[in-house]
Amino acid sequence: LPISRWQRDLTDSTVLRNLGVGFAHSVIAYEASLKGISKLELNEQKIAADLDACWEVLAEPIQTVMRRYNIENPYEKLKELTRGKGISPEALQTFIDGLDMPAAAQAA
């Protein structure tokens, strides 16, 4: 038996001894993040107005659905539609209606 802590077995790992410290810091950071997020207030009217003004935001989820149904070159097709110009809801709906996808996916 060791007489003091300085006679510790050299196979004992410093990393293992300090693992709890790193974990504790992670838990503290997580709790602080939750506390900060709980203080946020959404301006739902502003978000809705921004989304109504920028329909191009929906290009990425549309691209994801296009990939799911194996439509070729979804990025290029949407780039051609959206690059450098605003998109109206009607133009976006026309684009979606022209895709070779199931009706349920187009309606969603």
Domains present along the chain, CATH in parentheses:
5-38 (no CATH), 44-107 (1.10.40.30)
Sign of CA dihedral 15, 17, 18, 23: positive
What integer pLDDT is reported at residue 104 of this predicted model?
85
The Cα–Cα gap between 86 and 15 comes to 54
Quote the pTM value.
0.56
Q: Point out the residues of the chain with pLDDT beneath 50.
A: none
